[in-house]
């Protein structure tokens, strides 16, 4: 049976008459009768007996309906799926982010999005900047979110927001004036340093050089979150991104912006040759909203 024949058979069987089936399908009665006759000719047996104006299913129709119902239900599910994909309410989103974004903002965004769209699934990976670029170019992710990425050929940019570097320290460890700590006041200080991890560490190094400030790295780590935790256990101070500074609730740890400020962009990246799906575009809009709400100092 063809799909149209399945649809007509299901409607007539369920409604009990050609007239009601035609109304249900919003088609003419003759078209329903014609498709039904074609189905019976194709099958080689009758599906309904016409008794007193009613369509009474034959034994073959009863047996066939069990399978037809399953197919019809699948067709309905397929239609719903297609509509949800059109509206961006269903699908799969693959995201690669810098570790700091996975501490609070991204989990909040995913949880909030799935409350509204429970049919959307996610795959999340955290990586350093070079790995994120590889993930985009090898099409292993749909969206990547990074700090201060440079403009790159073949990579589309979707601005999310802004942030700035923060000094995390124990209470009283740094001189604070008008809510900020001067870079000059940190000259020769012992810090937990970050090994080069892409554009963000390059930005910090350039600002320190321009300000003629030298920091003494006593411990070197790969992620800002580990640096922050080391400060929490008494290992000096650290200059970290603002999202890392905001995450967690260490009571003895303070976070103070720098003077002059060292700002940076938060940008979503994607393959320029592969436009974002509706669900990815919808999630990105939602992520921006969450970032604006909880991702600023």
- Nearest by Cα to 230 from 222, 242, 238: 238
Q: How confident is the model at residue 85, as a pLDDT?
A: 57
The Cα diameter of the chain in Å comes to 100
Q: How confident is the model at residue 224, as a pLDDT?
A: 92
Burial class (CB in 10 A: 0-12, 13-18, 19+), 143: buried
CB 11 within 8 A of CB 32: yes
pTM: 0.70
Q: How confident is the model at residue 74, as a pLDDT?
A: 75
Q: Which domains does the chain have, with CATH numbers?
A: 3-87 (1.10.10.10), 91-162+266-294 (3.40.190.10), 166-261 (3.40.190.10)
Q: How confident is the model at residue 77, as a pLDDT?
A: 60
**pLDDT by residue, tens only, the chain of 297 residues:** 788 888 888 888 888 888 888 888 888 889 888 988 998 888 888 898 888 778 888 888 888 888 888 787 777 666 655 665 565 556 889 999 998 999 999 999 999 999 999 989 999 999 888 888 888 988 889 999 999 999 999 999 999 999 999 999 999 999 999 999 999 999 999 999 988 768 999 999 999 999 999 999 999 998 899 999 999 998 889 999 999 998 876 667 899 999 999 999 999 999 999 989 989 999 999 999 999 998 776
- What does each C-alpha distance from 277 to 89, 118, 175, 212, 280 come to in angstroms? 11, 17, 49, 46, 5
CB 244 within 8 A of CB 194: no
Q: How confident is the model at residue 206, as a pLDDT?
A: 92
CB 208 within 8 A of CB 194: no
Q: How far apart are CA 56 and CA 77, in angstroms?
A: 28
Q: How confident is the model at residue 86, as a pLDDT?
A: 60
Q: How far apart are CA 146 and CA 158, in angstroms?
A: 11
∠ CA 183-187-190 to the nearest 5 degrees? 110
Burial class (CB in 10 A: 0-12, 13-18, 19+), 94: middle
Q: How far apart are CA 267 and CA 148, in angstroms?
A: 7
DSSP string across the chain? --HHHHHHHHHHHHHSSHHHHHHHHTS-HHHHHHHHHHHHHHHTS-SEEEETTEEEEPHHHHHHHHHHHHHHHHHHHHHHHHHHHHHTSSEEEEEEE-GGGGTTHHHHHHHHHHHH-TTEEEEEEE--HHHHHHHHHTT--SEEEEESPPP-TTEEEEEEEEEE-EEEEETTSS--BTTBEESGGGTT-EEEEE---SHHHHHHHHHHHHTT---EEEEEES-HHHHHHHHHTT--BEEE-HHHHHSS--TTEEEEEEES--EEEEEEEEETTSPPPHHHHHHHHHHHHHHHHHS--
């Amino acid at each position: 049976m063809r799909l149209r024949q399945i649809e007509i058979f299901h409607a007539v069987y369920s409604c009990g008459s050609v007239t009601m089936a035609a109304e249900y399908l919003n088609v003419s009665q003759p078209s329903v009768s014609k498709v039904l006759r074609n189905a019976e000719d194709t099958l080689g047996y009758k599906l309904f007996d016409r008794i007193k104006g009613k369509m009474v299913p034959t034994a073959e129709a009863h047996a066939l309906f069990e399978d037809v119902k399953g197919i019809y239900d699948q067709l309905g599910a397929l239609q719903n799926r297609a509509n949800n994909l059109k509206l961006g309410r269903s699908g799969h989103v693959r995201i690669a982010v810098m570790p700091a974004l996975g501490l609070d903002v991204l989990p909040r965004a995913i949880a909030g999005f799935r409350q509204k769209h429970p049919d959307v699934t996610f795959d999340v990976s955290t990586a350093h900047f070079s790995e994120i670029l590889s993930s985009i170019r090898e099409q292993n992710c749909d969206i990547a979110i990074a700090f201060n990425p440079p403009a790159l050929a073949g990579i589309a940019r979707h601005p999310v927001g802004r942030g700035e570097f923060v000094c995390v320290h124990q209470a009283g460890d740094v001189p604070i004036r008008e809510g900020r700590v001067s870079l000059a006041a940190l000259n020769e200080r012992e810090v937990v340093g970050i090994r080069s991890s892409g554009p963000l560490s390059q930005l910090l190094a350039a600002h320190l050089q321009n300000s003629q400030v030298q920091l003494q790295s006593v411990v070197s780590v790969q992620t800002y979150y580990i640096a922050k935790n080391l400060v929490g256990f008494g290992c000096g101070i650290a200059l970290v991104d603002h999202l890392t500074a905001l995450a967690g609730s260490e009571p003895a740890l303070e976070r103070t912006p720098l003077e002059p400020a060292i700002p940076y962009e938060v940008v979503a990246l994607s393959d320029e040759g592969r436009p974002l799906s509706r669900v990815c575009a919808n999630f990105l809009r939602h992520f921006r909203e969450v970032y604006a709400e909880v991702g600023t100092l």
